[in-house]
Structure 1
């Protein structure tokens, strides 16, 4: 990250522009988030009603996100830098050692991308406070985490970490965060659209190649195609939470659509948009906010092609990073 100081707070207002977010606006954002969380839980219960569905995993996932977000908000207010660097250092130490023993490569890569975002966010937050050596150490930590992602077999995860470094590095002079957040939202939308196009255009045949990577691709395409067919048959309520392909469609958007219909997918998209909105109201420096938003977008791209959101550690980590990025130091 470049050696450039960025003031704390929201976007620097242009003449005649908007002012910094007030406590009342932050309260409105929190209330909207609570209502959205309640809507997701209510829709999950509605889709499971009258069926032998299994909504427990979805509801526990919502609870895990809320717990991680609340923890991040509190820790980020009390320990603005340590709360960001602590999880990043823990992931850097545990990912190459204990990670492969308990998690698959996709989940490890997702945790690494979240840790890269936390390290970059800490670097910019330290720079704004004049802690140059802490900022440089955070930059080195982010590079180390990105290098560790190359040791996994998750190609998308490694690319996500590399892209996140590009986003964080190019955000050092950013002052208008809303435009950048809109671009990040479009990146996530394009990833979901690409998966939908691939699922719709894939044929039912088996690929001619027989390598390990081809077999995995064929399996994922088959799951995506089945999920799309499921939502076409049940567009409103889906097949029920936890009742599609043993709870894994190798794509969070398609799994959500297959199990809870198009309204469930709309709620998932609304939750992601709310995350970016919450970060847009954050009093942290704009480059730090964009680093956290880039990490969540990278996770969204990974979740569109792999079942990383079914891993509790990844879900809690996403909520924790969101809370840390939106906290008022």
Structure 2
């Protein structure tokens, strides 16, 4: 506003003296007049509204003083210098507006940059905080898995010793079927010991640190079936033309054990039918576990993979709601994916894939 007042005062004075110009000196006065605009355009920054107001004032002031004081015809007055002065004023105002917009844009850009930098700093701080919390949570989870797995060894050794004592002390009285059951118990204890060792290793390193190994799929599936089948009411159908693959055995066995266990546990048929299919894809090894159970409503296909989510509210039904989420996470840590296809009344098909090892 101060610039507007000062420049208007100068223009008022210049317009007054310019109105007395004669043909002999009008061009010289015009150049002097324009110098004031050029000087103003070097320092002033106005919005377009200010520039328009000033231009209108400039024209009115010069017309007023011309009509009051000039003896030159209007046509001569304009052609000899008046139009030149007007053009200089308009050009100067254009420069003033341009500078205003340039500085405004620069200031806005700097403000936005400062805001973005502040936002990025806050986000980085949040990410660092969440990363630290996640690391602590992972460490606690690993410690928990290690402690639980370690503590399982002692009672398991106790069960093995008891089975051994029974076999030794009752060797003459125990039936042949009892001896077979004791051998089966010893076999299952050995598998459990191997599973605990694998869990300990997994808890310490995660899947990224577990060595890949060649896995005989037929043997692994047979071992998993032995772990989950308890009453001989399940018919297993296995379709696989891949003798072995390279991967993380603890992951594949645990995932298959979870899926087969669910297919048996949730099945409402007298004779349960479970199909296992393994196919060799272009980049992945694909697994499918299907059953003839009650099926799963499509609206629950996402929920079923959420931690602590169960689809049955029956209190007599035992389910922790962590099996499938953990299985899916283990597959995703291997670089694979897990999903299902199912409709109520037509069973369920669970799929998962893992990348081929090069």
Which TM bucket (shorter chain)? under 0.3
Between Structure 1 and Structure 2, the one with more strand by share is 2
Larger relative CO (CA 8 A, sep 6+): 1 or 2? 1
Task: Point out the structure with max Rg over C-alpha.
Answer: 2
Scaled by the length of structure 2, the TM-score of the pair is 0.26
Scaled by the length of structure 1, the TM-score of the pair is 0.27
